[in-house]
Amino acid sequence: MSSTIARPADVQRDWFVIDAEGQTLGRLATRIATVLRGKHKPTFTPHVDCGDFVIVTNVEKVVLTGNKLDQKHYYNYSGHPGGMKSRSARELLASHPDRVLTIAVKGMLPKNRLSRTVVSKLKVYAGPQHPHVAQQPQPFPAHV
């Protein structure tokens, strides 16, 4: 038996769209990270970007379980003394709902140069509309 190693030129990329309304943040983020990396394909190769594009709509209606809306904090440090800013998940969902999902997906990807190109294939929108109709996105796969 021989193993096939995907080459960047041979990768076939699809577009998927998912409605995040009523879905749990962490469970949704793991499914998205799997598709972005390409682990759902039989030709997955760890050092090649063989994943697909993912469009996420209605992120403002994503669900956080338990008390995470008030207890989960997102931190931003400017690098200066006293420059640590902290915002709760409720505040971040109200002001920038797309960042909540993007941060969750980034945390589930490997920390290397390839993950920076992989996360650029994630398109997140707060409302139900998206500008990627020309790519003819398919519904998100249920088996992932």
11-23 pLDDT, tens digit per residue, is 999 999 999 999 9
What does the pLDDT read at residue 140?
Answer: 87
- Mean pLDDT, residues 70-92: 97
Range of the domain at 56: 13-64+96-138
Beta bridge partners of 103: none
Q: Using 50, 70 and 90 to split pLDDT, how confident is the model at 70?
A: very high
132 within a domain of the structure (yes/no): yes
71 within a domain of the structure (yes/no): no
CATH code, domain with 59? 3.90.1180.10
80 within a domain of the structure (yes/no): no
116 within a domain of the structure (yes/no): yes
42 within a domain of the structure (yes/no): yes
Does this model's pTM top 0.75? My answer is: yes
81 within a domain of the structure (yes/no): no
Using alpha carbons, select from 82, 85, 59, 55 the residue that is nearest to residue 73: 85
Q: Using 50, 70 and 90 to split pLDDT, how confident is the model at 6?
A: confident
d(CA 64, CA 48): 33
What does the pLDDT read at residue 3?
Answer: 78
Q: Which two tokens stand for residue 73?
A: 């904090």
85 within a domain of the structure (yes/no): no
Is the confidence at residue 65, as pLDDT, over 90? yes
Q: Which amino acid is it at 137?
A: P
The number of domains in the chain is 1
d(CA 53, CA 36): 6
117 within a domain of the structure (yes/no): yes
What does the pLDDT read at residue 53?
Answer: 97
> Percentage of the chain surpassing pLDDT 90?
88
Q: Using 50, 70 and 90 to split pLDDT, how confident is the model at 141?
A: confident
Q: Which amino acid is it at 13?
A: R
Using alpha carbons, select from 124, 85, 86 the residue that is nearest to residue 104: 124
d(CA 135, CA 11): 16
